[in-house]
Amino acid sequence: MIGFVPAAELGEQPFEALKGSFSELPGKVIEAQDFLNSTLVPEALASKDISWTKELLGAEANRVDASEKLGLQVYSVAPEVAQNIQHNWLVQLERLPKVAKPKLWVNKESKVSTYIACDSSGVKMINSLPTTSNEELLYHLGNITEQLRWDRAALEIEISGLGHQKARAFVKPYFKLVSTIKTEKYVKVSTALSKVDIHSYGPLLRL
């Protein structure tokens, strides 16, 4: 089930407003949020002293999320620290399928996109980057590929989110394997959603 409220209509309690959009709440509700000033660290490098985050994030982290399954921690600067809200990076990473070769997942939002890069060794990079146009999307994809020294011809890219169809068409000439989320891998889509662009909800479908 998917609840949806336009971002412009959300107030100081966005999760309560979102849950209110359901006619009936599901048996389990996962609340997850991106915090733009965040960094991902392996548990082996984690420490109680988090003063180092001030230089990296612009302010000292006031939130630490952990995933025992992944052996990772995320340090964030959050406007409010709510205990029941999980960091979206870890929520998504725990549900992404393992890959044998380089793959890059992108979820486009209105002004920011989340980029997750993995290969057979695991997570190579995850970040939320300003993306207000397909040109910026292409720039970030090219930069990530170059930084990781991946072969564009072998890299697989999956794009979901707002405007994913036009984004895919724009990026396709520069990368060989570009697709949108294959919904049948995760969920059987009801005919009642025939008018909904279900591929826009990639992260939610994986949940």
* Percent of residues, the chain, with pLDDT higher than 70: 95
- Over residues 34-58, the pLDDT tens digits come to 888 899 999 988 888 999 999 999 9
- Over residues 180-203, the pLDDT tens digits come to 998 888 878 777 777 778 888 888
What are the start and end residues of each CATH 3.30.420.260 domain in the chain?
Answer: 95-207
Q: What SS3 state is found at 203?
A: helix
Say what the pLDDT of residue 117 is.
97
Residue 1 pLDDT more than 60? no
Confidence of residue 5 (pLDDT cuts 50, 70, 90): low
Instruction: Count Cβ atoms within 10 A of the Cβ of residue 96 and give its class: 0-12 exposed, 13-18 middle, 19 or more buried.
Output: middle
Instruction: Count Cβ atoms within 10 A of the Cβ of residue 63 and give its class: 0-12 exposed, 13-18 middle, 19 or more buried.
Output: buried
Say what the pLDDT of residue 145 is.
97
Confidence of residue 131 (pLDDT cuts 50, 70, 90): very high
Give the separation between CA 91 and CA 83, rounded to whole angstroms: 15
User: Assign residue 187 a region: left if phi > 0, alpha if psi is -120 to 50, beta otherwise?
Assistant: beta
- Over residues 147-165, the pLDDT tens digits come to 999 999 999 999 999 999 9
Say what the pLDDT of residue 18 is.
78
Answer whether 157's CB lies under 8 Å from 177's CB. yes
CATH of region 95-207, choose from 3.40.50.970, 3.30.420.260, 3.50.50.60, 3.30.43.10: 3.30.420.260
